[in-house]
Structure 1
Amino acid sequence: MSRFLQEIITDENLVWNKSLENNPEKFFVKLTSKTISELKSDRKELTNLDESCFPELKNEINELKTKKILQGVGLLIIDGKSFLDFSKDEITKIYEIICNILGTLYIQNINSEKIVEIKDEGKSMTLGGRYHQTKEGGSYHTDSPHWTKVPDLVGMLCINQAKKGGISKFVSAYTIHNQLLKEQNDGLKTLYEKFHFDKRGEFKINESQTIFEPVFVFKNDKLYCRFLSNYIIAGHQIQNYPLSKLQETALQSLEEISKNKNNVLSYDLKANDMAFFDNHRILHGRTEFEDYEDENRKRYFLRTWIKFE
């Protein structure tokens, strides 16, 4: 078991709750007119995905990375209204360039995709589907918990909103940890032990169908969280290794705290909005959604996983 964080954290950039909605300046930004003008004047260069062609954008994004993500609350949302004068294809290119400025794009599946579509494919979490392939909500999680190495950042570009629902939710792992430390110390210690995570079919021949990792790790004075309840339950079923009563209680408590509306920042990402957040200290989810019948209007996001250089 890794070192155990035994103190209540009070830093407001690490520990926050629903009240953060009252201070959007801590996570929400509009790109400067200078940056937008640069993108407009050099829009032909967008196809090349060369960040060096956009020094104003690069400087602004690096500054936001430091202020909002590394030293701030861990969340950055860029207002999609900044991109009203660009086509959908151009916005997608801008998004990819911003991702490259923030770090290195991570492969997300065995198909080696670095940009993945988030849309309802008619699948279900209970039947082995991955979260981004469903219209389900409520499952607060970190991304890629079933891979040994997880990305530092998750990026999302909203192309289409749902007809109803699909509101993004964010909760601080430090807030969850604080509450568990106050109320369930033994259960919290259990979450520093290893669990089996179902790889959801993302494994090669002769490779284990699960990985074995802890939910919480505290190292270099930072808290790291890896969590997706469905994957843990399925992982232990695959390995025929039942969860202990203490493990079940600890996992249920973590999930209940993450779903407590007083702990959750809600944000309805609109067309062209971009969100980037720390995948180690922020759990995220969404509300269940209802789609339009028109295929061209269905809820559609692009997701990237980003590793810091």
Structure 2
Amino acid sequence: MNNPNVALALESAPGPIGGRLAWKSADLAADPSWIHRLTGQEVAELEAAAAHSKTVVDNVLDLRKEHFPLPTLATKIKALRTDIMDRFGFGYLRGLPVHKYDRDTVMRIYWGLASHIGDVVPQNRNGHMIGHVIDIGTKVDDYNKRLTQTSAGLSFHSDSCDVVGLVCLHTAMTGGESALVSGIAVHDEMMRRAPDLCRALYQPVTVDRRGEVPEGKFPWMRIPVFMWQDGQFTGYAPLQEYLNSARRFDEAPKMTDQQWQAVELFFSICSEPEFAVKIPFEPGDFQFVHNHVVFHSRTSFEDWPDVAKKRHLMRIWISLPDGRELHPAIAERWVHIERGTVRGGVNIPNRKALTIPLEPLTPAFA
């Protein structure tokens, strides 16, 4: 088992970090260039690339960038990628008519786009390379399941990969609104308001793994929210619910009172309108978020009575071959952290085969 008492030397930023990635909601309203809209010609190019891919690979898992040619759209994807990595920490591609396509075609377009950004990695213990974000009736208090498969709201958080992508198929009847926040802007505001509480989050907090336990690890993990190395910030936002449920492990190291105060302030600032930008999904929207600098959330929702109209997003996790250097503390959560490797994702137990489920799973197999 890993030893929770082995501590890394954890340095903190000397003060507010600032920079382009420390945006606030007003900055995004003033500069909407993070939205990249597909033209009719570009949609046709995606359709042609999906059709071409079917002639060269049967299984979407085998689809690579060279199987999905985008001679015109490649320029826009390059700009999108720059937004994700360096300008905003996220980007949107908007306007795919998803209602026109069967599920295999949507999967091919989604995977093909992702292959132009980086390498897809598994996102759960079932080996799913594309996952379904949909309410399948999972109980909110089931500590071995993710909250994404419920209708509950989610606090601001980050996922175990360089970039998390979402594509919207259907929106909810009410609610289910997406929101983003700059982790650097939140850090800097904490540093201004309560520097001692900000620095407390440079020490590891205790987080429930919710049943996804790598071999040799505890069912909980210890990882800082803020990390600083060689003048670079790395952020990790655990779901607030996973901090609370980690208390069920008697043997897990307890967070200090100061850390709990710091966590409360952290989530409070994340949700303030000055920092959080709410972006209602539209069917055909692609959202890509750089997890190290931007955190995401959603509000609770009420779904349509018609099952075919239920709120339904599909998620993909991407490793960036040219991604940033990562602080060693993040290795507690990740599969590999070395720059230039296919890193991040979830450890797959018992060598389960990688797969792409065309439809959401039932609660028994989620």
Pairwise same-fold verdict (TM > 0.5): yes
Following TM superposition, by how much is the alpha carbon of 1:222 offset from its aligned partner in structure 2, in angstroms? 2.4
Offset of residue 86 of structure 1? 4.8
Structure 2 counterpart of 1:25, one-letter code: P
Aligned to 1:17: 24
Select the residue among 33, 42, 47 that pairs with 1:26. Answer: 33
Contact 1:126 1:230 in 2 (8 A): no
State the partner residue of 2:337. Answer: none
Name the structure 1 match of 2:172: 162
Report deviation, 1:40. 3.9
Matched residues in 1 for 2:257 and 2:100: separation? 56
**Matching residue of 2:268:** 256
Per the alignment, residue 8 of structure 1 pairs with 16
Q: Which residue of the other structure, out of 272, 282, 285, is the alignment partner of 1:273? A: 285
Structure having the higher helix fraction is 1
Q: State the match for 1:108 in structure 2.
A: 123
Q: Distance in 2 between matches of 1:269 and 1:255?
A: 22
Q: 1:41 to 1:198 in 2, by over 3 A?
A: closer
Counterpart residue type for residue 31 of structure 1: L
**Which residue of the partner structure matches residue 242 of structure 2?**
231
Secondary structure at the aligned position of 1:263 is classed as coil
Q: Which runs of 5+ in 2 are unaligned?
A: 1-8, 58-62, 322-366
* Superposition RMSD in Å: 2.2
- Listed as ranges, the matches of 1:190-269 within 5 Å are 190-203=200-213, 207-228=217-238, 229-238=240-249, 239-269=251-281
Q: 1:300 aligns with which of 312, 317, 331?
A: 312
Matched residue pairs, number? 301
Match of 2:138 among 115, 119, 123: 123
Matching residue's letter, 2:147:
Y
How many angstroms does 1:243 deviate by?
Answer: 2.4
Percent identity, aligned pairs only, is: 24
* Offset, 1:114: 1.4
Structure 1 residue 234: Cα displacement: 2.2
Matches within 5 A, 1:65-214: 65-66=81-82, 68-81=83-96, 86-128=101-143, 129-143=145-159, 150-203=160-213, 207-214=217-224
* Alpha-carbon displacement from aligned partner over 1:49-75 (angstroms, at most 9, x marks no partner): 343241323443133202x11221111
TM-score by length of 2: 0.76
C-alpha distance in 1, partners of 2:171/2:30? 24
Shift of 1:160: 0.8
SS in 2 for 1:8: coil
| TM-score, with structure 1 as normaliser | 0.89
Offset at residue 127 of structure 1 (A)? 3.7
